[in-house]
Amino acid sequence: MESTKTVAAQHDEAPIPAETVVVPERGFTINRKKALVAAAILWTGFAITVWLVLTGRTGGFDEWGLMSYRTGEELGPSGPALVFESVRDVTALGGVFLRNLFAVAAVVALLFLKMRREAFLYAATVITGWLANTGVKLLVGRERPQIVPHLTEAGGESFPSGHSFSAAVVYIAMAIAFAALSKNHTVRYTVIGFAMVLSAMVAWSRVMLGVHFPSDVTAGWLGGAGWAFLAAALLYAPAKAAADSEAGKKLDPAH
């Protein structure tokens, strides 16, 4: 009887009120001059790498990078199996499925955080980055390395690395977008710096798997990172205009 009364009393209690979620205030707008400087430095590095590849000056660096993770007569991966599994996990972050999944999730999250401007800018950066990478591959092109056995499947042109370029664009541009939630310089630089390191890890994983030369991933990462900063500067105004338009406002989840 007592337990029945207890259950009934619980049903009579008022429901727990929902908590109010406060959306963080935008902390900053990206400094377009600094973004242009960063883009210029990165694209200069990209241009130098392209010149080195076209003039055949990266042979020693490329061979060293490919051989650094190999051992034995069959040139298999060195180190414990855990390292190899970790390399495959890291490289998957730059793959078409996960990369695009995270990109779409980031756009949706930005819209729910009422950051339409950042959502539009991020989407434009990723789409134009894909077009830029495709164009560069068509202009340069390169056969994939045959120095060591490939540890994963890979097709298409080798230079520049699409994994490296796209991972840099997706993750660095994502960091730039979400960094707008903080007014603290240290927090913003840490978030963006982490994205740069993560995308660089994705790039080098392609070398460890034997499907790209080190010069491929170097150029890919420099080009992708440069595009993320360049787009943040040049596409900001049109992204803001699109976000403030009547059509853009309809994408607000609260609309």
- Reported as a single tens digit per residue, the pLDDT across 191-232 is 999 999 999 999 999 999 999 999 999 999 999 999 999 999
Which residue matches tokens 């890291």?
90
pLDDT of amino acid 158 = 84
**pTM above threshold 0.75:** yes
Between 26 and 123, name the one with better pLDDT. Answer: 123
- pLDDT-derived band of residue 125, with 50, 70 and 90 as boundaries? very high
At 21, list the tokens.
Answer: 């979620």
Task: Specify which residues 77 forms β-bridges with.
Answer: 70
DSSP 214: H
Indicate if the pLDDT at residue 104 is higher than 70: yes
Task: Specify which residues 71 forms β-bridges with.
Answer: 76
CA gap 89, 92 in Å, rounded:
5
Which residue matches tokens 């109010």?
20
Q: Which of 84, 92, 89, 99 is nearest to 208 (CA)?
A: 84
Nearest 5°: the CA angle 95, 77, 211 is 40
- The mean pLDDT value for 112-123 works out to 90
CA gap 145, 160 in Å, rounded:
13
Average pLDDT over the chain, rounded to an integer:
86
What percentage of the chain has pLDDT greater than the value 90? 54
